[in-house]
Amino acid sequence: MYVDRGRQYSIAGFLAALLVVLALAAGNFFSLGNFSDILVNISFVTIAAVGMMAVILTGQIDISIGVTLSICSTVAAIASKAGVPIPLVALISVGTGALLGLVNGLLVTRFKVHSIIVTLGTMSVFRGLLIYFTKGAWIYSLPQDFRSVGLGTFLGIQNPIWAMIIVLLVAAWLFSSTAWGRSLYAVGSNPEAARLSGIRVPFVQASVFVVLGALVGLATMFYATRFSTIQSNTGQGFEFVVITAVVVGGVNIFGGSGTVLGVALGALLVGITGTALTFLGISAYWEQAIQGLFILLAVAFDSVRLRRRRYVLQKVRGGV
Amino acid sequence: MASLLEMTGIQKHFGGVQALKNVDFDIEAGEVHALVGENGAGKSTLIKILSGAYTPDSGTIKIEGQEVTIANPRQAQALGVVTIYQETSLYPDLSVLENLFMGRQPRRRFGLLDWGAMKKEAEAVFKRLGVDIPLSARLGDLGKAYAQLVEIAKALSQKARILVMDEATAALTSDDVERLFGIIRTMRSQGVAIIYISHRLDEIFRVTDRVTVLRDGERVGSERVANVNQNWLIQRMVGRELTNLYPRNIRAPGKVLLEVGNLTRIGVFENVSFSLREGEIVGLAGLVGSGRSEIVRAIFGIDRYDSGTVLLEGKPLSSKPWEAVQSGVALLPEDRSRQGAILAMPVRANMTLAVLHNLHKGGFLDEKQEASITDRFIQALQVRPPRSELPVASLSGGNQQKVVLGKWLASNPKVLILDEPTQGVDVGAKAEIHQLMDRLVNELGVGILMISSDLPEVLGMADRLLVMHRGHLVAELPRGASPEQAMAKATGLEAQGIAHVR
């Protein structure tokens, strides 16, 4: 809406080029099975990235979501072992995530401290509390119905893919066509002007952390259920992958602009890297380095675009 | 003997605007020379040329009879010209001593700082100024007056011969002002030339020897202060005739909309009371720093206040901007790009920002209604170019202001507060905004509270004018009052007079 679509086109182009290379180098990459595997693998990152997009749109950031994922995983696993039915487990996980998000949101709006500091703090506090309560022990022998959440299908498509598609569609609607979505962009572009226009800036800022927490809770259902055990340090580095997907997807790290489609493409690009490397016969140890490179490329790309846009803007002004 | 500084025939223009037209200015050693004029008269431009921030289009600058070129601030400093700005360039977290020598610390061998030499020089400078100040104190703990003092000391230790003081007293209390005047007199007796810029006319008569008035980039008078009076000054500053630039149809005001009672924010404004009725425009005048913008910010809930009441139609108005907006108050802020418009967003999204929550239709933003609101105000306000999808950043200043105004009109306010509504707006757009204001009060019964630095404008538009001076409401002038009367109140000249009579 407020964004030029340039980033979407360029990621789409980059993805297309990558796929052509993969097609030429490794034909079996394009089996349907492999492709749906990839989508299942990126589903939980994409779901969390949509929440992260909301946070970053308002000019904030949350680096505590790795531990949120950890806590939700632990809570969900314990609930499931205690015999709680799966839909209720999902609800508990989402609620736990939302609660942790609310803590972050309230801290950020009450103390008016930048969220990178607040979530740096809560990251350690949450992790410490988790280790205290679990005593660092792993959770073993998860029930079968918990472990098969991600395996179920509906109309021949796996549940995680459905969840991802639904989250993307709802987010696209929320962000572009509701008053709340509009206020995210306004707060991120100019918080002072938004406040003076009667937008409840603290409410908006707290709400995005809750939304992100809830979505991380949902993502947990497609993340934790892939393992046979839950370790107390699970989810470390999750924030890195999610923020990478959002930034590569063209959301301005300072807030105010970005699209859901861009984030979806960004998540796909980040998620496909590992698989692509394997198929190209390159060591998977490069995965993280290459994801980092994507961030740098995205940032460089932005600064070049911005400079060009300023120039065009000047010309427009001069002409009027 | 030649003057210490002689500027002759200085011309400067920016784009199509002639900021200075053939201006002469000179100052002797040991003289305090006031430079006055309204905002935009050319004072700052002249000073920036002297301090090397701008280069003039033509004209000569002589120091002690020698023609010089001042191409950058460093050269100005080498010639002994030092400017002290209103906002000091000091570091509040460092000590007085560190501030004094920041960036030019004397060194000993191995690059070590020579604290001994610094201390000695600092003591000498403060002795010269006749003040005692703890060198090791953290500057931020000392208050604004000392910051000003440290700036002066810094200038003197840089061998300043010509000291420019730009609105030096704007942030000072009256005791601090007295102290500063003492220091100015000390420096004068030591042969320092001081160019003194101030909006406060009473200060001109108390501390300066000569006064030069600029208006619209021209020198319109230069006299010994002893030979002139306040009327002479004000007439030259204001100059223009009040023509029928301001279309007003005065009607009888209706019921009271906004009632402000004894509003106080300690150190900013005190016991301010006034009311605003349906269908009237009330002007609020005062110098920058008089508390006029702070008052409206407090009414709207942006800043807190310590005591007093704000009633809207008899009910207390809450202290949060979003609640003020919902109860029918709108504030067009002074700083358009930071507080008014969201530059990166399109005209459409800006216009509907204040009414977002009423634009729902089945969970969706009602884009049809959004388009109709936007089109209506683009037409009514003549926004050019009339395109709702353009980012506001691509519009000219006047058109940006129209968009912000449109945003508030869309919310159907009962009380509209306009803080400098026509600042940086071209003449045509200005007239359009004035006509719109008249229609709002007459046809819709809106109450408008208008702040403007442009006295003829606010006098021409308002039913009555409230004047503030140093945080106090000092006068209420009826329609038809002259800019001279208002200026006299706003600069504190009148208050001074009363004090003398007592």
DSSP for residue A198: T
Arithmetic mean of pLDDT, B310-331: 89
* Identity at B178, one-letter amino acid code: E
Below-70 pLDDT ranges, chain A: 1-7, 32, 302, 305-320
**ipTM surpassing 0.90, yes or no?**
no
Per the CATH hierarchy, to which homologous superfamily does domain B242-328+413-502 belong?
A: P-loop containing nucleotide triphosphate hydrolases (3.40.50.300)
What are the CA-CA distances from residue A86 to residues A37, A162, A231 (Å)? 23, 17, 20
User: Which pLDDT band holds residue B415 (cuts at 50, 70, 90)?
Assistant: very high
Closest Cα to residue A292, out of A252, A262, A257, A247? Answer: A247
Q: What CATH architecture applies to the domain B5-238?
A: 3-Layer(aba) Sandwich (3.40)
Shortest Cα distance from B416 to chain A (angstroms)?
13
- Checking B157-161 for CB contacts under 8 A at 24+ apart, the result is B157/B100, B157/B101, B157/B121, B157/B122, B157/B125, B158/B77, B158/B82, B158/B104, B159/B80, B160/B80, B160/B81, B160/B82, B160/B192, B161/B4, B161/B29, B161/B79, B161/B80, B161/B81, B161/B191, B161/B192, B161/B193
What's the rounded Cα separation, in Å, for the pair A238 and B43?
Answer: 58
pLDDT at A206 (0 to 100): 94
Q: Domain residue spans in chain A?
A: 6-309
DSSP structure string for A5-51: THHHHHHHHHHHHHHHHHHHH-GGGG-HHHHHHHHHHHHHHHHHHHH
pLDDT confidence tier of residue B499, bands split at 50, 70 and 90 = very low
pLDDT digits (tens, 9 = 90+) for B7-29: 999 998 876 667 889 999 999 99
Give residue B241's pLDDT: 46
- CB contacts < 8 A, A to B, total 86
Q: Note the pLDDT of residue B9.
A: 93
pLDDT score, position A316: 43
Which class for A312: exposed (0-12), middle (13-18), buried (19 or more C-beta within 10 A)? exposed
Burial A216-243 (b: 16+ CB within 10 A, else e): bbbbbbbbbbeeeebbbebbeebbbbbb
**Whether B396 and A199 lie within 8 Å, measured CB to CB:** no
The CA distance from B404 to A193, in Å, is: 10
Q: Is A296 exposed, middle or buried (0-12, 13-18, 19+ CB in 10 A)?
A: exposed
Q: Which residue of B has its CA nearest to A201?
A: B322
Average pLDDT over residues B319-334: 88
C-beta atoms of B338 and A193 within 8 A: yes
Domain A6-309 part of CATH 1.10.3470: yes
Could you tell me which of B309, B306, B274 has the C-alpha nearest to residue B292? B274
- Write the Ramachandran bin of B395: left for phi over 0, alpha for psi from -120 to 50, otherwise beta: beta
In the DSSP assignment, the letter for residue B384 is S
Binning pLDDT at 50, 70 and 90, where does residue B500 land?
A: very low
Confidence of residue B361 (pLDDT cuts 50, 70, 90): confident
| A318 reaches B (C-beta below 8 A) | no
Question: Are the C-beta atoms of residues A212 and A65 closer than 8 Å to each other?
Answer: yes
Categorize the per-residue pLDDT at B379 as very low, low, confident or very high, splitting at 50, 70 and 90.
confident
pLDDT at A242: 92
Question: Which letter does DSSP use for residue B337 in this model?
Answer: I
**C-alpha separations of A281 from A28, A276, B162, B362 in Å:** 13, 9, 74, 52
Question: pLDDT by residue (tens digit) across B424-439?
Answer: 666 667 777 888 888 8
CB A248 within 8 A of CB A8: no
Which element (helix H / strand E) includes A185?
helix A179-189
Rounded distance between C-alpha atoms, residue A147 and residue A224, angstroms: 8
Shortest CB distance from A2 goes to which of B345, B354, B407? Answer: B345
A44 neighbors A160 (Cβ within 8 angstroms): yes
Chain B interface, mutation test: which of A182, A196, A251, A316, most B Cβ atoms within 10 Å? A196
pLDDT confidence of residue B245: 63
Task: Please enumerate in sequence order all residues whose Cβ is within 8 A of that of B430, keeping only pairs 6 or more positions apart, or say none.
Answer: B398, B422
B1: confidence class by pLDDT, cuts 50, 70, 90 = low
CA distance B23 to B27: 14
Helices A86-111, A115-134: inter-axial angle, 10-degree rounding: 140
pLDDT band at B498 (very low <50, low <70, confident <90, very high): very low
Mutation for testing the B interface, residue in A197, A199, A313 having most B CBs under 10 Å: A197
Asked if the C-beta of A185 comes within 8 angstroms of chain B's C-beta atoms, the answer is: yes
In chain B, domain spans:
5-238, 242-328+413-502, 341-412
Q: What pLDDT, on a 0 to 100 scale, did the predictor assign at position A319?
A: 33
What does DSSP assign to residue A142? -
Token digits of residue B487 = 């200026």
pLDDT band of residue B171 (cuts 50, 70, 90) is low
Mean pLDDT calculated for residue range B75-99: 82
- Quickly list DSSP for B430-448: HHHHHHHHHHHHHHS--EE
Q: Is A24 on the interface with B (CB under 8 A)?
A: no
Tens-digit pLDDT profile for residues B92-135: 888 888 888 877 777 777 777 888 888 888 888 888 777 778 88
User: Is-same-fold flag (B5-238; B242-328+413-502)?
Assistant: yes
Q: Which residue has the higher pLDDT, B249 or B165?
A: B165
- CB B342 to CB A179 under 8 A? no
Distance from the A5 Cα atom to the nearest Cα atom in chain B, whole angstroms? 15
| H helix and E strand count, chain A | 13, 2
> For the purposes of burial, counting CB atoms within 10 Å of the CB of A28, is it exposed (0-12), middle (13-18) or buried (19 or more)?
exposed
